[in-house]
Amino acid sequence: MRPYLNFSPKPFARKDPLGFIFILINSVICIAVILSALYLWQIQRANQQHSGEFSRLELKKELLNEQFAQLNKDLKAMDLRAYDKEVRFYAGIQQELNAPWVNLLDALGSALPDGVRVQQVSSDGSTGEDVGQTIRLLAYARTKKDELVLLKRLQDMQDFSHVLIMNEVYEKPAIMFETRLIYHSDKGN
């Protein structure tokens, strides 16, 4: 420290080069500190913003996870196989109901010879709009001849096509046979 031996109540301003350097260095340090503080503040601010976005994304992810879990839960609860089976069941009923039973039975009745008795007529569903309705016919014939007469008549009729014997059992005193055929509801009219 420089001694101070001046008695003047108002001394000349001391222009100390070391003091000037000291002030200069302090000023530079102050500026550096201020800039560093500003930089730090900006980093903190950016960090807070990113942190906020990250939190929002985390929250969104959690919500989506919850929704996904709920959907999974609902999906499991739905039991798709049972639903599919149920749909098929109701679709079958619908198909049964769609079959033109009155016309079909009229056509079948007109083709039946005396020696044949129809046990069961059922529909296997539509084969397509252009093709027709697949019909399964279970009947009993007194004789083979009666059976063949029925089949021949069905084959000759425009209302039916693809008349095939699927099964035939000889049971005294009758022959049980199962026929499959396609009924064209629009051709007979």
CB 132 within 8 A of CB 161: yes
β-pairing, 116-126 vs 174-183, is unpaired
Q: Tokens for 96, please give them.
A: 């049964």
Residue 120 near other proteins by CB under 8 A: no
Q: What is the nearest approach in angstroms of other proteins to the Cβ of residue 41? A: 40
16 versus 96: smaller Cβ distance to other proteins: 16
Closest distance to other proteins from the beta carbon of 15 (Å): 6
Neighbour-count burial of 150, counting CB atoms closer than 10 A to its CB (0-12 exposed, 13-18 middle, 19+ buried): buried
- List residues bridging with 138 in a β-sheet: 120, 178
Shortest distance, CB of residue 37 to other proteins, whole angstroms?
A: 34
Please tell me whether residue 189 binds other proteins under the rule CB under 8 A.
Answer: no
Residue with tokens 């198909």: 95
What mask of x and - would describe binding to other proteins in positions 9 to 48, judged by CB under 8 A?
A: xxxx--x---------------------------------
Smaller CB separation from other proteins, 16 or 106: 16
- In the block, tokens 């619908």 appear at 94
State which of residues 2, 76, 81, 172 lies at the interface with other proteins (CB under 8 A): 2
Phi and psi at 100, nearest 5°, equal: -80, 75
Nearer of residues 18 and 82 to other proteins, judged by Cβ: 18
Does 6 engage in binding with other proteins (CB under 8 A)?
yes
Q: Which stretch binds other proteins (CB under 8 A): 3-11, 54-62, 93-101, 132-140?
A: 3-11
Site for other proteins contains 128 (CB under 8 A): no
Q: Are 126 and 150 in contact (CB under 8 A)?
A: no
Binding positions for other proteins, 51-110, rule CB under 8 A: none
Residue indicated by tokens 């049972």: 82
Residues 6+ apart with CB under 8 A from 188: 103, 107, 157, 158, 159
Whole-angstrom CA distances from 122 to 7, 71, 107 are 133, 41, 14
Interface residues toward other proteins, by CB under 8 A: 2-12, 15
